[in-house]
Amino acid sequence: MNPANYVYLSALLFTIGATGVLLRRNAIVVFMSIELMLNATNLAFVAFSRIHGTVDGQIAAFFVMVVAAAEVVVGLSIIVMIFRTRRSASVDDANLLKY
Amino acid sequence: MEPVIAATGAVQVSGWLMIALPLFGATVLLLGGRRTDRWGHWLGVGAALASFVCAVVVFVTMLGWPAEGRARSVHLFDWIQAGSLNVQASLLLDQLSISFALLITGVGSLIHIYSVGYMSHDPHRRRFFSYLNLFLAAMLLLVLADNFLVLYVGWEGVGLASYLLIGFWHYKPTAAAAAKKAFVVNRVGDFGLAIAIFLMFKTFGAIDFATVFGSADAAGRGTLTAIGLLLLLGACGKSAQVPLQSWLLDAMEGPTPVSALIHAATMVTAGVYLIVRANPIFNLSADARTAVLAVGAVTLLFGAIIGCAKDDIKKALAASTMSQIGLMVLAAGLGAAGYALAIMYLLTHGFFKAGLFLGAGSVMHGMNDEVDMRRYGGLARVMPITAITFGLGYLAIIGVPPLSGFYTKDPIIEAAFNAGGTRGWIVGGAALLASGITTFYMSRVMFMTFFGERRWAADAHPHESPRSMTGPMVLLAIGSIGAGAFLALGDRFVNWLAPVVGEQPEVEHVLAPATVITMTLAVVAAGLVLAWLQYGRQPIPRTAPVASLATYAARRDLYGDAFNEAAFMRPGQYLTRSLVYLDNRGVDGLVNGLAALIGGSSGRLRRLQTGFVRTYALSMFGGAALVVVAFLLVRL
């Protein structure tokens, strides 16, 4: 199977994730979209690693996973705190930090 | 010029004590506050008298020395050492300065004594004496200085004392305004003196009298004329000469002893002192001398005309002071022939004008501070001592022989005629005419005040003044009688001053002295008769009658104030107003406009910060996309 297809899939997944981040209001869904984008990049890393025949991309993918795991912990706890205080998980409700 | 011998012993000590004592008195009285209220005035009198004793000690010692070697210097301390500028704070005791010192401390002491009685009802008498002492110290510093910078300190000091004393009753708006006016007009003159000093330093590299006068010959005539004219500007301010005359009449708002001491006898003569002291400069510049002559002649007539129309006794005397100082300046403008005569007239004028002012003060003291002569009349009966002393001063100022004015004024008129040519006829004629007008207005004062019917206010109870006031008046009257003959007979004073101002040159007499004396006496008699016809024989209206345009102009000080207002004050006001407008609209507008522009645009820009996460996310995506596109473009 042509490894370039994985790169196409990765681009598709990234686009879906980015669209989700931009269009969805629910913080959990936005979060999931971000995860989707991260995994799309992971897929791209691995695909390029395969194409070039080196392991650099795979190492980078591991780093991304570690960071994503840490990010999930911080992000989810923030969302939980917002939900507790505002009874809503909509990202548009949390808009105090503005002009 | 060889350096002046340093003074030793009693002369040295007296020299600096003369200034230090009044300064000490002023300091104690100013710092001591109310604690010194009970005895403060006696401390003031004591300081003035002690200073007089010092002056006498110096004078008597000086008499014992040979005429050419009488000058002594008293070095106080090194004042300024900066580069090539080397200023010593030191005093010069010579014939000219000691003559002034005797006048200042002598008349000053008498006026201090007079003030004890005159100011006895004033709650701030102590402050008054501290200012008087401050004035004495500053005035002595002015005349005893041996360089122009120390002189300038004294010059400013007397200006300050004059300001404080004119505005002594500062709760009266007129007095406060008069004080400010005197100060501001004097600044114009001080400016001239300051620039003259700068110019001297630039030209001669020094500002002490010895160097400046010694090397004056080497300087360019243009520079010397400039220095002379600037010195004349300074003299005009301090001595109330046209065009800086306007402050003197208003200065009469101050207490009468102040008018007598500062604005008649001493401070206003500082300008004459300055011109005579700077005689080597004026000797070398005929143009500057002509300017001095012109200023003197104009002021002489200017003051005399104003004096004829004033109903306020003090203002009439002030106009007379202005006019008489004009005569002194005129004499100084005659050059070597006139310097000594100017100073001689200045000294005797100090006596009789101070006496006249003290007499006016005595009248006011008895008349509830009424100054309008139309409310006086017939006071000779109730105030005999005042009337006699005032009358002697009056006879002296109009130049009746053998009183002092006759001996000191006639030589000036004679010297003016002897100046030669058209100039001689003009200034001589002006002096002669002014002497007639002087007689007219002084006789008017005399008739309106002491003779005729009693036009007193209903609550006036005139009475003779206490002895502390009449005593100084009597002493000054004696001076008015005798000083002229004492100084003038045998050319005593002229010879005394000769080492400082030079010998009087032998001149060809245009008119014989006897002719001049006869003419002067005829003019004086004419003035007297005219005054008697108008003010002695006819009853005097209690309010100023409608009069000719000339009288009206003289009542308004010959429009001196109106001129200043139109020529300087209004244009200045327009200038400041337009500058303020420019500042508000132009400069402020630019700055405020810029601020408003930035404020407004940033107010719009910050709307970008919506607080919506997705907006930020979109901008991040946009940015990332841009970066990618940029990379692609660069790679291509």
pTM value? 0.81
Matching residue, tokens 């000490």: B24
How far is B594 from chain A, CA to nearest CA, in Å?
Answer: 22
Residue B426, CA distances (Å) to B59, B132, B489, B550 in order = 38, 40, 27, 22
pLDDT of residue B384: 92
> Is pLDDT larger for residue B49 or for residue B545?
B49
Nearest to B609 among A18, A92, A98 (CB): A98
**Dihedral over Cα of B307, B310, B316, B322: its sign:** negative
Pairwise CA distance, residues B8 & B72, whole Å: 9
Q: What are phi and psi of B76, to 5 degrees?
A: -95, -60
- At B452-489, the pLDDT tens digits run 888 888 888 888 888 889 999 999 999 999 898 999 88
How far is A75 from chain B, CA to nearest CA, in Å?
Answer: 14
Which range (B259-263, B279-283, B290-294, B504-508) has the least confidence?
B504-508
Q: Who contacts B268 (Cβ-Cβ below 8 Å, separation ≥6)? A: B238, B239, B240, B248, B262, B321, B325
- At B265-298, the pLDDT tens digits run 999 999 999 999 999 999 999 999 999 999 999 9
Task: Name the A residues in 60-99 with CB < 8 Å from any B CB.
Answer: 91-92, 94-99
**Residues A94, B614: C-beta atoms closer than 8 Å:** no
Residue at B629: amino acid letter: V
**Residues A96, B611: C-beta atoms closer than 8 Å:** yes
* Chain B positions with Cβ closer than 8 Å to A: 606-607, 609-614, 617-618, 621
Q: Per-residue pLDDT averaged across A26-48, rounded?
A: 93
Q: How confident is the model at residue B436 (pLDDT cuts 50, 70, 90)?
A: very high
Pairwise CA distance, residues B34 & B53, whole Å: 29
Nearest to A21 among B606, B609, B617 (CB): B617
Residues from chain B contacting residue A91 (CB–CB below 8 Å): 612-614
**Residues B609, A99: C-beta atoms closer than 8 Å:** yes
Nearest to B611 among A22, A23, A97 (CB): A97
Which range (B192-206, B264-278, B483-497) has the least confidence?
B483-497
Other beta carbons less than 10 A from residue B283's beta carbon: 20
Q: How confident is the model at residue B86 (pLDDT cuts 50, 70, 90)?
A: confident
Residue B494, CA distances (Å) to B105, B504, B522 in order = 22, 8, 27
Mutation site for A-interface testing, chosen from B602, B607, B613, B628 by largest number of A Cβ within 10 Å: B613
Q: How confident is the model at residue B538 (pLDDT cuts 50, 70, 90)?
A: confident
Looking at residue B336, what DSSP letter applies?
G
| Nearest residue of B to residue A96, measured between CA atoms | B611
Residues from chain B contacting residue A22 (CB–CB below 8 Å): 614, 617-618, 621
Mutation site for A-interface testing, chosen from B601, B607, B612 by largest number of A Cβ within 10 Å: B612
Q: Is residue B3 pLDDT above 70, yes or no?
A: no
pLDDT of residue B2: 55
Quick one: which of B292, B169, B309, B157 has its CA closest to B227? B292
- At A56-91, the pLDDT tens digits run 999 999 999 999 999 999 999 999 998 998 888 888
pLDDT of residue B1: 47
Q: Per-residue pLDDT averaged across B221-239, rounded?
A: 94
Q: Is residue B64 pLDDT above 70, yes or no?
A: yes
Residues from chain A contacting residue B614 (CB–CB below 8 Å): 21-23, 91-92
Please give the interface size between A and B, counted as residue pairs whose CB atoms are below 8 Å apart. 31
| Nearest residue of B to residue A22, measured between CA atoms | B614
pLDDT of residue B395: 94
How far is A23 from chain B, CA to nearest CA, in Å?
Answer: 7
Q: What share of chain A is helix, strand, coil (3-state, %, to 5)?
A: 80, 0, 20
Nearest to A95 among B606, B607, B612 (CB): B612
**Mean pLDDT taken over chain B:** 91
Most confident range, picked from A1-10, B118-127, B315-324, B555-564: B315-324
**Dihedral over Cα of B4, B9, B10, B12: its sign:** positive
Interface pTM (ipTM) of the complex?
A: 0.84
Which range (B331-345, B389-403, B546-560, B563-577) has the least confidence?
B546-560
Quick one: which of B101, B109, B182, B197 has its CA closest to B141? B101
Share of chain B above pLDDT 90, in %: 67
* Secondary structure in 3-state letters for B394-445: HHHHHCCCCCHHHHHHHHHHHHHHHCCHHHHHHHHHHHHHHHHHHHHHHHHH
CB B238 within 8 A of CB B267: yes
